[in-house]
Structure 1
């Protein structure tokens, strides 16, 4: 039985499996639509398909149909630039791009409305040459990277289902009955944990559009719209990146009610500062921090009911085995088949590039990225993720990238939470954060970004992590100029 059959087999007779703004769809109808779409794709000879669609029922149906066909899905984020889309299509050898019915097609392209009639989908064929993929490839997902050309990672369906099964087991004590997808479905984490694990766990999937969630453009978020979405769908589980968690915490601290239905908030995609976790816990939010990476088909570790430790990313899930080599975390178990272009993963456990340790109780602690650690002029190693997570707990600061390689002090490239905040307010905010940091980690100067970091301009990854090399390159002149001036941030509220 292939992955598509397994996922459809998990369906029962629920009359409300998928919930959208347009209504709900039951198990029998969903299975019928998926099988019908798989037949249409098969007749059209489409087995390797790229998609570029909003969150919704059509995305889910296409993905399940390709799983049923043992096909290859290449989900393209909606924020990808035309250059990135072109690179993804050429590098993956996709036969067609599938979009929602009614989406304008590129000039001169003939649509697929005849082949995909009555499916809610359209698209166009791509004249890319057939490219060899690793045997068993079911999904090609694109890693963050530091350039405008993200790297394609090939994953097999068995690995994706193994991770999803582990997630069902991890949440079994709570067994959430309705999951709300708040991340783009093109994000591997939501695809595996939000769709596959929810189906295997016999729970409902709420699938609002990205606009209904509150996303504006590539990186903006309207918090009142997000809160309205949460109250409308009353989810028991959601997956958040740290920025979304911070937005909810700040809203709740200012008196905005959160739905009482929430029972399982999984958070990953970046380091979460202990102060933010403490604030969430003070509000009674059931937050469970996790950790994963694309090369291991998403989630590797997760805090869970009965096995939770603040400051850790939890214990390894059943499908994963962790070890430490000279401070670097290695993961064995589920792993990618390789990269597009024929590049293979080295034999043995996956070297994550993340620094950390495993305590006596098996909880995993992440301290930073090996390649991001910089060494100050005084020989102190600084993990910028740690400092940045502390900065972003301050209500005045929305985005930050810290650097100080071979410097006597550190600089931050910043975007404030409100663009009208003047430099004195920002300096004061940095001083307050500095008061809780050791001297070698403090930020003594800053550069104001000209605009928020976004995925569209290549400065954020798909799940909101900063592309630090790109950011520092963009603002290199301003960073250099800041070091030609005296330090501008007072320490602990005392003028420098």
Structure 2
């Protein structure tokens, strides 16, 4: 496959660059040529144990050097990695059987014979294998390297087998926009179980830049030490960073406080995976840290991206080469890819694949949006989050939720309309205990700017902040609407009834 980045990194040893792993339990650095050699030795050991093309290697662990080595070793064997997000799965025999895993590496305690401590991968990578050189491998565009899982709100996560063509096309487009290379250091902290986070390891091997992998818990501690040039993060991370910077702003001003947090080498900040608020984006741009929002799904990979020389406020960037955005009469977005991630799910309920993937491979995103005359894509919200009131008025909830999140006292806001007559907000406070007075004050200010039908009539303040641990946020920090409604159903209905009683 001409120009394949995946084929390059499995056949060509890198000559420069380094990988650093920074966790709260320690820091270690590996030069990329050494990383390549270690991954090869690990691949040879796995091959001796009977793992070969098409076999699935499960990885259920926090970000670590071992995670990276296993992923790269699998690529060298044409095996398939199954990245399993910690907290969502248990390391047991049932997991191996469910996803047809040949072996599962984990940092959790486990007794099943097919489950191995992830530390075994490091030890194998440090000693020569008896079998010697690995056979050469080459990938075709339609071949699969990894099984990734959606962060659905109900039931078992759906599997999606990602093709080499989709990985290559996305990485080529990113490189054309941002030109990563020697002198860059990319900072990554989201779980490596999310395939896109591994793209930056592949980018380092291909383009010779440095990369630091951390964890979410260690990110703010690690950032000023690393002094990266690029930080990859979801909007929730940058919202938290914004609040920390505002709290630490002194005589040097916001720009100085931002540089103290992120270091003095930032070239740009990357965000996506969830809607980013306009005030947050504006804050970092004005602080001298350019931030670029993009848009994509597990099922499409990256679709559009703002970047230097082509950025428009309020948009998620221009649609990338190889992607086509199709809008129906209601403004619902579908995406056609020259190199689809796949055309169906694995391990999904009946009908799930047909609802998402059209017969021609087009992905039905469920998002509402439009494309302007210059090819910039704008997202208005989710089609299934449009509330239709009993008077026929359609309310798009995203702009109202973003308005509520502008309060320093509110971390997240999710709107519901249980009887199609008035809106009720469930808010996740920015601190515990919640600053209820500030939340109600901001609600009054927000309602003063909203139309009659858009006003929030009732509010429920969550007892504890939404998080991944309590299953109210996805791994990419998006609210789990259905679970939030189920958890606060009685209070939502009570708030709604109270409003209705007062109005009569």
TM-score normalized by the length of structure 1: 0.85
Question: Could you report, residue by residue, the CA deviation over 1:242-296 in whole angstroms, capped at 9, with x for unpaired residues?
Answer: 1111111122222243322111111111112222222222222210000000011
Aligned to 1:125: none
**Cα separation, 2, equivalents of 1:478 and 1:387:** 20
Choose from 144, 151, 154 the match for 1:144.
151
Aligned to 2:214: 208
**Cα separation, 2, equivalents of 1:153 and 1:87:** 19
What is the CA distance between 1:82 and its match in structure 2?
3.0
Q: Aligned in 2, Cα 1:88/1:195: closer, same or farther, shift over 3 Å?
A: farther
Aligned to 2:34: 29
Choose from 366, 371, 387 the match for 1:374.
387
**Cα separation, 2, equivalents of 1:173 and 1:306:** 16
Number of residue-to-residue matches in the alignment: 459
Aligned to 1:79: 87
State whether residues 78 and 145 of structure 2, in contact with CA within 8 Å, keep that contact through their aligned partners in structure 1.
Answer: yes
What is the CA distance between 1:459 and its match in structure 2?
2.1
Q: Aligned in 2, Cα 1:376/1:49: closer, same or farther, shift over 3 Å?
A: same
Aligned to 2:109: 104
More displaced 10-residue stretch of structure 1: 158-167 or 415-424: 415-424
Q: Aligned in 2, Cα 1:88/1:380: closer, same or farther, shift over 3 Å?
A: farther
Choose from 220, 231, 237 the match for 1:238.
231
State whether residues 81 and 456 of structure 1, in contact with CA within 8 Å, keep that contact through their aligned partners in structure 2.
Answer: no
Aligned to 2:71: 63
What is the CA distance between 1:336 and its match in structure 2?
2.7
**Cα separation, 1, equivalents of 2:160 and 2:421:** 39
**Cα separation, 1, equivalents of 2:299 and 2:122:** 36
Structure 1 runs not aligned, ≥5 long: 122-133, 214-225, 490-496
Q: Report the structure, 1 or 2, having the larger helix content.
A: 2
RMSD of aligned residue pairs (Cα, Å): 2.9
Structure 2 runs not aligned, ≥5 long: 127-140, 250-256
State whether residues 331 and 350 of structure 1, in contact with CA within 8 Å, keep that contact through their aligned partners in structure 2.
Answer: yes
1:333-348 aligned within 5 A? 333=337, 334-337=339-342, 338-341=344-347, 343=353, 345-348=357-360
Q: Aligned in 2, Cα 1:115/1:51: closer, same or farther, shift over 3 Å?
A: closer
What is the CA distance between 1:466 and its match in structure 2?
1.0
**Cα separation, 1, equivalents of 2:462 and 2:332:** 32
**Match status 1:312 vs 2:309:** no
Structure 2 counterpart SS, 1:466:
coil
**Cα separation, 1, equivalents of 2:401 and 2:118:** 48
Question: Could you report, residue by residue, the CA deviation over 1:187-207 in whole angstroms, capped at 9, with x for unpaired residues?
Answer: 233223x32334333211112
Question: Could you report, residue by residue, the CA deviation over 1:93-119 in whole angstroms, capped at 9, with x for unpaired residues?
Answer: 11221125xx53237777479985723
Aligned to 1:161: 168
1:33-52 aligned within 5 A? 33-46=38-51, 47-52=55-60
